[in-house]
Amino acid sequence: MAEIGIIGSGTWGIALASLLHNNGHQITVWSAFKEEIQMLKSTLSCRNLPELRLPQDMKFTADIQTAMDKKNLLVMAVPSIYVRETAKKMRPFCGKAQIVVNVAKGIEADTLKTLSQILEEELPDADVAVLSGPSHAEEVSRGLPTTCVAGARTRKTAEYIQNLFMSPVFRTYISPDILGIEIGGALKNVIALAAGIADGLGYGDNTKAALITRGMYEIGRLGMEMGGTFETFCGLTGIGDLIVTCASMHSRNRRAGILIGKGCTMEEAMEQVNMVVEGVYSARAGLALAEKYGVPMPIISEVNHVLFDGKAAKEAVSDLMLRDKTAESPDLPWE
């Protein structure tokens, strides 16, 4: 049995808290919002996971030191835009070689750093790892079979995380490719916005398949240019996470995209979804990384035009279809 602190009380943090408790571990959940902690204590439920009942012995606190003290593992489950701010609060209480596994997905817009890079910067004594994959909180909270990947600098840390999370309904693989895992996890949210926009415009399965396939090509090319591995982008945290995010109505990114395709502005769509839409924050970072590494990313470029430049979604699709003719895989040789 391990003592685990969940830093963040959103749907993913609570779903993982329930999973880890069911695995026999002692869980303390932290939130920056005292009213959220009071709600969790009094109702033992999460408003966005209506079927989940939390156990009586799960602890909840608004004091970050209490959430971190003497914990074998810390699960960083705050939205990507709050990772740096929260890590600064954690720093005074972070022990030497404290394992911190980040489960959020995103890229910091100003610095273009991945979330693990932010954590390593703000928590220099920590052993930072990641957990990612096709894993909607709604399904994990219901105990539906799910697979993820634990990425870490060392095999020892990855296997430790694997052993804590592994269960009959949550299969966990390990990988040393933290960068590839994070690039796939962050940028698939931007492609999911595009897939949702296509749904909102009334396009069909052909369009969705094209967006998923060419979107993965864009992500993979950039990720490998940055140092990620081909195998990672072919795996659960690459194509696997992209498929589930583009296809499922659990995906807040897809839902926001549908609203934009139907005529809503980005701000209106985010307000209606009423949850953090990570793809909006990763879109600009993805485009900046494409420019930095010289990798063409036409889908992510057009998503940026729709989100931030007022471009009509239908016009963006037309411009994607009418780009200069090219080969599907330009590097393949001809006879």
105 is known as an active-site residue: no
Selected catalytic residue, list 71, 105, 113, 188: 188
Nearby residues of 114 by Cβ (< 8 Å), 6 or more positions away: 107, 108, 178, 179, 182, 183, 186
Query: Burial level of 109, CB count in 10 A (0-12/13-18/19+)?
Result: middle
Angle between the N-to-C axes of helices 11-22 and 155-165, in degrees from 0 to 180, rounded to the nearest 10: 80
State the Cα–Cα distance between residues 34 and 236, nearest whole angstrom: 36
State the Cα–Cα distance between residues 137 and 139, nearest whole angstrom: 5
Query: Burial level of 56, CB count in 10 A (0-12/13-18/19+)?
Result: exposed
State the Cα–Cα distance between residues 37 and 259, nearest whole angstrom: 32
In contact, 158 and 150? CB cutoff 8 Å = yes
User: How big is the chain, counted in residues?
Assistant: 335
Residue 295 is encoded by which pair of tokens? 């990798």
Task: Catalogue the active-site residues.
Answer: 188
